[in-house]
Every structure is written in structure tokens, then in C-alpha cells.
Amino acid sequence: MARTPIIFGNWKLNKSSIETAEFMSNLAKVLPKLENKVEVGLAPVMTCLTHAISAKNDAPIQVAAQDMHWLEHGAFTGTVSAQHIKELGCTHVLIGHSERRQLFGETDGRVSDKVRLAFDTGLTPIACVGENLTQRESGQAEDIVLRQVDAFVQRLTADEVKELVIAYEPIWAIGTGQTATPEDANQMHRAIRESIRVKFEDAADDVRIQYGGSVKPANAKALLAQAHIDGALVGGASLKVEDFMGILSAC
């Protein structure tokens, strides 16, 4: 089963609008070296999305928002909806990143509502899952992750599952310099795919599962060589064009 690798950068709360535009045009210049072998995207700060979209011009770089509200409209001061993101020209949206879950109290239920609404609005969700260190050390990692996945997958159709992107990001590996070994990550990715197969026999082979957590040019190749690792969600190493290109070239 050939799944096109998908690599996204998650800039979190980094880069001004000017820096965003500069990065986009610089990346657009070097991207042809990859000959379209990998799907590439970036998730800048919300207010920089339009700068990203105009600066990339027609280069094959997808632009994602880092979050959205779980409802279409209403009395929700300070947030944006899926439709707003879509209107800007975004194609993807990160949902349920562990920082959203940990720092902003997002539950599996909310994550599932957002994944559902993203599809209803014509956006591709990159749904993030992952266990913390205590859960890993107590042998619960797989149960936790599969429960997180089931919360949103159960509300999708087979066609949506084929489009879905999941990012497995063990929390203890995010921004710490510690990565899961390629074999351990692959084992979790396989478990995720097999859990989806229970309900979606064929579509399970099309779901793309990114690994995230301290991915760098130096470790990307070994991770991406694993059978069930279909790409990466990259934080720190997506902030410099050379580092990000190093990861993209590993595909």
C-alpha cells in the first residue's frame, strides 16, 4: 500500500507575519528539489495564515490552522470557526494537539466534535493523539492512544477515514529532544491502523499516520523508513528552512 508521505510543520506561537511570509517564499524556491514526492504543509499562527497563503503563491505547500472551535458560530469570544479557516484558503487544521489537550483542557469529546466539523466544512483534520510519560511507564500507552483515536474515528465514514491524517505524538517526546525509537513508534502506528481496521477494513490502509516529537533531519530517515510511519508533524525543526528541508528530503 503506497501512501504519499505527509510532513507538516507546527509553528505553535512562533514567527511574525513578516517571518512567516519570508519562510514561505524561501521554502517555495527550494521545494522543486523534492519532485512532489511528499505532501508538505505548515501551520503558522492564526493571524499569519493569510500572509503564508499569499507568500507561498502557487507552490505546493498546504496551509493549516493550529486549532478551531468545535461549533460553527455562537457566543464564543476569542475563537475562530472551521468556516473562517476555510475562507482564508487553508486546507488542513490541527486538532487535539497535546498542548491544546493539556493547557486548554480539550477532551476526547471536543476533539471528536472538531474532527467531525472539519470534515463537514471541507477541511482535512490532522488529529493528534499521544500518551504522557506516566501512562507509558505504567504500560497504558496503547490503551490511551487507541481510546483517543476511537473517539473521533467512530463518527467518520469510510471515505473520510481515507482522507484522515492522524499524528501520533508521545507527549514525553515533544520539544524534549527525546524521540520514540523508530520500532516503538511503528508499533504504535500499527496498533492505531489495526484498531481502525476493525470498523473500516479497506480504509484503514489509506489513513496516513504521522509521527511527532523531536523529529529532526538526523532522525527523520529512520522514522520514515518504518512501514506504518507515513510522515511527520514537526515542531522546533520546522522553524528553519534548512532543517525542514532536511526532514522533507528524508522521505
Q: Which of 95, 215, 220, 247 binds ligand PGA (CB under 6 A)?
A: 215
Q: Which of 174, 191, 245, 251 binds ligand PGA (CB under 6 A)?
A: 174
Q: Is 51 a catalytic residue?
A: no
Q: Is 69 a catalytic residue?
A: no
Instruction: Output 204 or 215, the one with its CB closest to ligand PGA.
Output: 215
Exactly one of 99, 106, 169, 189 is catalytic; name it.
169
Contact call for residues 196 and 149 (beta carbons, < 8 A): yes
- In the bound complex, what is the minimum distance in angstroms from residue 133's beta carbon to ligand PGA? 14
- Measured in degrees and rounded to the nearest 5, phi and psi for residue 186 equal -60, -35
**CB nearest ligand PGA: which residue?**
235
- In the bound complex, what is the minimum distance in angstroms from residue 149's beta carbon to ligand PGA? 17
Residues 140-169, mask of contacts with ligand PGA (x by CB under 6 A)? -----------------------------x
- Interface with ligand PGA, residue 234, by CB under 6 A: yes
Exactly one of 97, 160, 189, 228 is catalytic; name it.
97
- Count of CB atoms situated within 10 Å of the CB of 9: 26
Cell of 100: 491544546
- Measured in degrees and rounded to the nearest 5, phi and psi for residue 181 equal -65, 155
Contact call for residues 107 and 91 (beta carbons, < 8 A): no
Instruction: Output 168 or 200, the one with its CB closest to ligand PGA.
Output: 168
Region 184-213 residues binding ligand PGA, contact defined as CB under 6 A: 212-213
- Interface with ligand PGA, residue 224, by CB under 6 A: no
Burial class of 103 by CB neighbour count within 10 A (0 to 12, 13 to 18, 19+): exposed
Contact call for residues 15 and 46 (beta carbons, < 8 A): no
Q: Which of 5, 10, 39, 52 binds ligand PGA (CB under 6 A)?
A: 10
Q: How many residues does the chain have?
A: 251
Residues 108-147, mask of contacts with ligand PGA (x by CB under 6 A)? ----------------------------------------
Q: Which of 95, 141, 196, 233 binds ligand PGA (CB under 6 A)?
A: 233
Q: Tell me the DSSP string of 4-63.
A: --EEEEE--S---HHHHHHHHHHHHHHGGGGTT-SEEEEE--GGGHHHHHHHHTTSSEEE
- Residues 57, 7, 31, 11: what is their CA dihedral angle, to the nearest 10 degrees? 60
Q: Which residues are catalytic?
A: 97, 169
Residues near ligand PGA (CB under 6 A): 10, 169, 174-175, 212-215, 233-237
